[in-house]
Amino acid sequence: MPRDRAAQPGSARPSPVAAADPVAMLRAVADLATRTITVQDAASVASVLDDVVGELADLLGVAHVGLFQLDEQAGELTSRVGVLEGRRFGSDHHRPVRLPTGRSSMPGYTILQQRTVTTSDLVADRRFTALAPSFGVFARSAVNVPVPSAEGWWGVIGVYDVVPRSWQAHEIATVEAFAAIVGSMLHTVSRPPETPDVTLVTERLARRRAELAGARLATLSEASALFALSDDGDVVARTLLDTCVPALADGARLDLVDRRGRAVGTPIVTVGDCGGPSMTTALRAIPAEALTDLVEVVDLAPRGAGPASDHSDRVAHPARRTRRFVARTTRADLPEVLHPLADQIGLVAEPGGGGIVVAPLVLGERLLGVLTLLDGSADRRTTGHLGLIEDLASRASVSLDTCRRLEARTRVVDSLQTTLAPPLLPADPNTTFAARYQCADPDLAVGGDFYDVVDLGEGAWAALVGDVCGRGPGAAALSGVVRQSTRAAMVVDAEPRRVLERTNAAVVSQLDDFGFCTLTYLHLAPSPTGMRATVSSAGHPRPVVVRADGRVEFLDCGGAPLGVVAHPIFDEVAVDLAPGDAVVLYTDGVTEARGPDGLFGEERLIEVMGGLVGAGADLLAETLDFAVRSHRRGDGDDLAILVVAVPPVG
């Protein structure tokens, strides 16, 4: 619908529901379209109109909504129903408000323009006269939409907020959709019921089909949107039932099955106002097998095979299998175990009343579940109605399968991440450890960076920090391989050079041409003055020694990264650690963290560590981690920090 918008002043606030849920508005439009299909008398019209203004007020979070009917001869619009300061009123319970047409009122201006009119500030708008204050109604912004009729315009729906407001596109579209549905309903009800003209009858049938098709499309669109918003199978299942009840049935049950076709979990049951506790009890009491047996496998014609297909054709094009869609309309159609369901909707021996629909949820040739609907109304028993149920079941099947695959993948990833997660650090009175870890991928708990601490016995420890080339699950998996290979190498000989040589031999065949791993390995053993640290590095950033006397120094120990050559040469460097000294191991996620003034770098690393003389392992790790995060912009790389410290005496 064309729209006439006022300039949006800077003081206008955004819509309070713009960030909420546009899908809720889509659901409301679909629900209104479905309800108006069966409206045939004035009482039903009044009820729907009352719901329209109330729902618009709730959806848009406004205090005032009015539905004004146009009297062209009198040149005025008269209020029919509305919401005033949050309270609903109807035509029988209020004094009608009469507004002039033309520029003398906003609804009148809307009829004049024959299009949607919006304003973010009624006080500042000079296109028309704002009459709301004259009636004691405080309003500052509004959306007015003309309600169509066969001859032109029936009237106007007006939505008013008490503050200046910039109306969002989906908010305006919702009001327009409500106006269009109301106009169609009023036109349908106001038409003479009798007409012998074949053309008019045909037109009426065509319009009815269009209305039904529109309602069906709205329902499918709403359900598809809701299915797509969730990656939880339980939510998809509940959404399917909520879509079916009460719009398509009085009660519904959904049974989910596993890959062998066996029911899993407790069936989900939803019953509308027409059902009650007895229908809920009856739906829950039916054995799942009784429902799944109704949708037994049906063989279809082979793909690409015609009626004259011989055996060779069937070999080339194997028969497809699916599940039968079942619509039971008489008690005799049902197995005895389902007769309690028939009793709930008064299903008798002869067709003509309600029915029971059993719809399989199928993807390819695999049964995912069975949807059972109890329908006590004969009005719903149409081909279009059954087609809509089948379409909903089909769309739900795709979403459920996606959720199941995602859940299975998540379980595998969680299991792998548990085995690959950084280990808990040991507690030892003579040596303290602290670590900080971050994975660059927000969807994963572990990445390509890793650390490990191993108790070698007799007061000796092994500590390592490594970085596998790449990111994501592949890098995390390789980091696990390197960690386990390093642990295995320690069993033979814990000397750093030998550990790296054996680890390289174990992983060189498991890294492709573009893969490698850097690693620093530290062996810590008791010494007369404290602890002696022996370090070897495979292409990894240099460790930092933080002395209790204030000195900060790098340990230079070079070597090729793991996985690059078959027989690399690794250097060793040894250093004595006195009480209060510490060694900081880290990955390039520290030194290569990029900020506004460049990389974090080794100089900044020395500066940060130099200000922490005498600090314990945990404070060193925490301060360095905080400094890197403060410097970095964006998500950055994986990061691992491991601090090994000798506690000060006393």
**pLDDT of the residue at 632:** 87
- What whole-number distance in Å separates Cα of residue 289 and Cα of residue 301? 27
The pLDDT of residue 384: 64
Number of structural domains found in the chain = 3
Q: What is the CATH number of the domain that holds 105?
A: 3.30.450.40
Distance (Å, whole) CA 152 – CA 326 = 45
CB 643 within 8 A of CB 586: no
What pairs with residue 645 in β-bridges?
432, 582
Domain limit, last residue, from 361, 386, 410: 410
Question: What's phi and psi for 646, nearest 5 deg?
Answer: -100, 120
Q: Are residues 391 and 490 in the same domain?
A: no
Query: Which two three-digit tokens encode residue 89?
Result: 């009123």
In this structure, are 175 and 233 located in the same domain?
A: no
Q: Which of 376, 410, 444 is the last residue of a domain?
A: 410
Is residue 214 a part of any domain in this protein? no
Residue 438: give the domain boundaries. 422-645
Alpha-carbon span 546 to 552, nearest angstrom: 5
**Token representation of residue 515:** 């893969």
- 416 domain residue, yes or no: no
Whether residues 157 and 93 share a domain: the answer is: yes
Q: Do 162 and 249 have their domain in common?
A: no
Regarding whether 296 and 174 lie in a shared domain, the answer is no
Residue 448 shares a structural domain with residue 548: yes
User: Same domain for 243 and 99?
Assistant: no
Note whether residue 197 is domain-resident.
Answer: no
Assess whether 498 and 382 both reside in one domain. no
**CB-CB contact of 176 with 145 (8 Å):** yes
Take residue 130 and report the two structure tokens written for it: 């704002």
469 to each of 488, 503, 513, how far by Cα in Å?
22, 16, 11
Task: Output the domain CATH number for residue 551.
Answer: 3.60.40.10
- Residues comprising the chain, all counted: 650
Give domain status of residue 43, yes or no: yes
Counting Cα atoms < 13 Å in the Cβ hemisphere of 24 gives 12
In a domain, 312, yes or no: no
| CA-wise closest residue to 41 among 31, 49, 33 | 49
| 3-class SS of residue 68 | strand
Q: Are residues 364 and 388 in the same domain?
A: yes
454 shares a domain with 375:
no
Same structural domain, 403 and 431: no
Q: 10 Å Cβ neighbour count for 566?
A: 9
In a domain, 74, yes or no: yes
Domain presence at residue 88? yes
Domain stops at, among 192, 216, 251: 192
Residues of the chain with pLDDT under 50: 7-20, 193-196, 198, 201, 298-321, 348-352, 514
Task: Let me know whether 45 and 176 are in one domain.
Answer: yes
